[in-house]
Amino acid sequence: MTLTIEPAIHEDIVPAPRHASAHAVAWQRVCRIDDLEPGWGEAVLLPERQVALFLVGAGELYAVDHRDPKTSAPVMARGIVGSKGARPTIASPLLKQVYDLATGECLSESGPSLATYATRVVGEFVEIAAAA
Partner 1 sequence: MSDDRGDAVDEPATDARRVVVIGAGPAAHRLADAINSRDDAGTLHVTVLGDEPHQPYDRVSLSHRLLGEEDLTLVPTRPWDAARVRLLTGVRATRIDRAARRVHTDDGAEHPYDELVLATGSTAPVPEIRGSDHARVYRTLEDVDALVAECAQVVERSGRAPRVLVAGGGLLGLEAAGGLTGLGAEATVVHSGGWLMSAQLDEGAGQALSRLIAGHGIRLELGTRPQELLVENGSVHAVKLTNGKVVDADIVVFAIGVTPRDGLASAAGLDIGERGGVVVGADCRSSDPNVFAIGEVANVFGRCVGLVAPANAMAETVADRLLGGDAEFSSIDDATSLKLSGVDVASFGDALGATSGALEIVYADPARGLYQKIVVSQDAKTLLGGVFVGDAAPYSSLRPMLGRELGAEPAAYLSAGGEAPSGADLPDDALVCSCNIVTAGTVREAVRSGGGSGEGCHDLGSLKACTRAGTQCGSCVPLVKKLMEQELTAAGVAVSHALCEHFAMTRQELFDGVRVLGLASFDAIVERFGSGRGCDICKPAVASMLASQGGYILDDGRGSLQDTNDRALANMQKDGSYSVVPRIPGGEITPQKLAVIAAVAEKFGLYTKITGGQRIDMFGARLDQLPDIWRILVDAGFESGQAYGKALRNVKSCVGSTWCRFGVQDSVAMAIRLELRYRGLRAPHKLKIGVSGCARECAEARGKDVGVIATAEGWNLYVGGNGGLQPAHGQLLATDLDDESLIRYIDRYFIYYIRTADRLQRTARWIEDLDGGLDHVRSVVVDDALGLADELEATMHRHVDDYQDEWAATLADPERLRRFRSFVNAPDAPDTGLPRVIERGQPRPARPGEAPMPVSLGMPTAPPRETLSTEGSRS
Instruction: Determine if 59 is a binding residue for partner 1 (CB under 8 A).
Output: no
> For 82-104, b where at least 16 C-beta lie within 10 A, e where not — what string?
eeeeeebbbbbeeeebbbbbeeb
CB 13 within 8 A of CB 115: no
Any contact of residue 58 with partner 1 (CB under 8 A)? no
Number of residues counted as binding partner 1 (CB under 8 A)? 44
Enumerate residues 6+ apart whose C-beta is below 8 A from 80: 90, 91, 93
Asked if 98 is part of the footprint of partner 1 (rule: CB under 8 A), the reply reads yes
Instruction: Answer yes or no whether residue 36 interacts with partner 1 by CB under 8 A.
Output: yes
1, 3, 80, 131: which one contacts partner 1 (CB under 8 A)?
80
DSSP state letter for 26: -
Neighbours of 127 (CB within 10 A): 22
Using CB under 8 A, pick the residue from 6, 10, 18, 58 that binds partner 1: 18
Q: Which range touches partner 1 (CB under 8 A), out of 2-10, 41-49, 110-118?
A: 41-49
Contact letters for partner 1, residues 101-120 (x by CB under 8 A): --------------------
**Angle CA(41)–CA(47)–CA(53) in degrees, nearest 5?**
15
Interacting residues toward partner 1 by CB under 8 A = 13-16, 18, 29-32, 35-40, 42-45, 47, 50, 53, 56, 67-68, 71, 73-75, 78-85, 88-89, 91, 93-94, 96, 98
